[in-house]
Structure 1
Amino acid sequence: MLILPSRRQVLTGLGAAVGVVGATGVYAFDIEPLHRLIVTRYAPDLPGWKDGPALRIAVLADFHVCEPFMPFDRVAEIVETTNALKPDLILMLGDYPAGEVAWRKLPLAEFAKLADTLRAPLGTYSILGNHDWWDDEHTQVSLGGTPQVRRLLEARGIPVLQNDALRLTKDGKPFWIAGLGDQEPFKGRMEGMDDLPGTLAKLTDEAPTILMAHEPHIFPQVPDRVALTLSGHTHGGQVRLFGRSPAIRRIAGHDLSYGHCTIGGRHLIVSGGFGVSRLPVRFGVPPEIVMVELGRSTPGPAAA
């Protein structure tokens, strides 16, 4: 015998469903993007790092400073948490200004001032992302100018590696950090600013190399010469369900949306970053500081 639910039971079920949807919305629009901050740790066993030093790298990506989604007190919290992790090296992967979702844009000079308080023995280095070009309001970048945020960071002593490479040493062991120009076309250009062959041509010896590339799209083209590629840009899709980011397309048949990815023994780590773009929502991919530990005796990723 079929027993139909009563009117009270139907209304109770609908009310519970509405409550779940409402709570999920509050979490995705407020709690996760604005109040959560995690540290995600990776210790990959890199074939190209056998002669490299033990190294702890803090990776910071996609700030998108603006109100209300990335105010300066939030940036200060990220800086303080990063410093407390005591990394050897800090790498910033671009997209410092806000995108489309900003209710109010914030002055990048103040962001650069906060970035100047990052502390690591080997220094802080950066690259530019697509929004550093697209959302620049002070320079005719399409005419060959320099984005404002690059000038501000470099004035604070934070080098911006634009298709360039720098040789560093720790514990007597050398390694390279290389920074790729942004890959996205902008303001009428048919191509991005990236030059992978030209960047790698600046490596003058066989010391292991870390490549900073804002977008992970380039990774299928990165040669074995690079021990590790670090990227941001995707925000992990901002919504990540059951280990997948439905908003991010596959690249050359590979899911490069988030986390530790490998192709043919080559390694990529994609940070979920901090900010938001297009939609002011995060669900299943909270803002994160990525900590990469190289040269450890027992490798393996872990999240905290």
Structure 2
Amino acid sequence: MLILPSRRQFLTGLGASAGVVGSTGVYAFGIEPLYRLVVTPYAPVLPNWTPGLSLRVAVLADFHVGEPFMPLDRIAEIVDTTNALKPDLILMLGDYPAGPSVTYRKIPLPEFARVVSALRAPLGVYSILGNHDWWDDKQAQARRDGPVEAQRALENVGIPVMENDVLRLVKDGKPFWIAGVGDQIPFLLEDDEGGRDDLPGTLAKITDSAPVLLMIHEPDLFLDVPDRVSLTLAGHTHGGQVRLFGYSPAIAAIHGNNDFAYGHVVRKGRQMIISGGFGVSRIPVRLGVPPEIVLLNLGSASDPAGKTVQGPGLIQG
């Protein structure tokens, strides 16, 4: 027999549902993007990796500095947390200014650069640019050329910006390369398909067989990355900003491939890790993908406590 709820039961249930939705909204708008910060560890077994080369890398993506969602004291918290991890190397993956839709007050990029200049790693701090670094600079848009303000600000505090360039580093006598390509969508004109990326030209600068860590901003470029690269690191997506049950519903419409929304992706032996980053874009919401520092333990299957570590979202294909 079908038993229909009474009017009181219906209204009580409706009120409870509204309360859940309301509290979820408060969390997504006011708690996760502003107050949560997690460290997401990965220890992938990489192709073309030198035996005995152990490397600890902190990856920072998509700061989107601006008030109220990413003030300078929040940047300082990220810097302090990163330094406490004692990485050998720090890599920054672009998108330093926030977009206008989530910004009540812009923060000058030199002030942001001053705070991140406190990042410390024995092998250095290196960066690339993202689409917002270009979109935020009206003069660069007009002349269709750089350097953009974000690049000038970072380089003025000693953080190199790698655009289609490589650098050979050495850890414990064992060499490896970091490489950074230019942004794929730097210009706002809808009919403009020209990017700043030159992946073949960048990789052509590598002169030996040492492992390569490749920095890109938009993960789409991974489809063109050869297996010469040991690991590709990307940002841009913010994990979709809303991620439920391992799926980012907003990303499929943008990229056509939800696999490239977040986490560890393996394609025919090639590997990419997509950071969820820190900030917000378009709408000030994060739910199920809290702001994160990605911590890579390369050449080692364990964290310092001896426990196996693996980040989320391993997708193979």
**TM class by shorter-chain length?**
over 0.9
Tell me, in whole angstroms, the C-alpha distance in 2 between the residues paired with 1:272 and 1:86.
21
What letter matches 2:162 in structure 1? L
Q: Kindly indicate whether residue 79 of structure 2 is the aligned counterpart of residue 76 of structure 1.
A: no
Provide the identity percentage. Answer: 68
Partners of 1:229 and 1:247 in 2: CA distance: 23
Aligned residues of 1:53 and 1:170 also touching (Cα < 8 A): yes
Partner AA of 1:33 in structure 2:
P
Deviation at 1:254, TM superposition (A): 6.6
Q: Offset at 1:295?
A: 0.6
* Aligned pairs (5 A) from 1:1-304: 1-51=1-51, 53-99=53-99, 100-137=101-138, 139-140=140-141, 142-188=143-189, 189-249=192-252, 255-297=259-301, 300-302=309-311
Question: For 1:52 and 1:210, how far apart are their aligned partners in 2?
Answer: 16
Which amino acid counterpart does residue 75 of structure 1 have in structure 2?
I
Farther-moved stretch of structure 1 (19-28 vs 52-61): 52-61
- Structure 2 segments unaligned to the other structure (5+ residues): 303-307, 313-317
Secondary structure of the residue that 2:265 maps to in structure 1?
Answer: strand
What TM-score do the two structures reach when normalised by structure 1? Answer: 0.95
Structure 2 counterpart of 1:177, one-letter code: I
Distance 1:185 1:116, change over 3 A: closer
Aligned Cα RMSD in Å? Answer: 1.7
SS at the partner of 1:18?
helix
1:2-43 residue CA offsets vs partner (Å, 9 max, x unmatched): 433222211211110110010000010011111100000000
CA change 1:252–1:17 in 2 (3 A) is closer
Give the whole-Å Cα distance in 1 for the aligned partners of 2:70 and 2:273.
23
Deviation at 1:50, TM superposition (A): 3.3
Query: Number of matched residues?
Result: 303
Question: For the Cα contact (< 8 Å) 2:251–2:257, is it kept in 1?
Answer: no
The answer to which of 178-187 and 228-237 deviates more is 178-187
The one-letter amino acid of 1:167's match is R
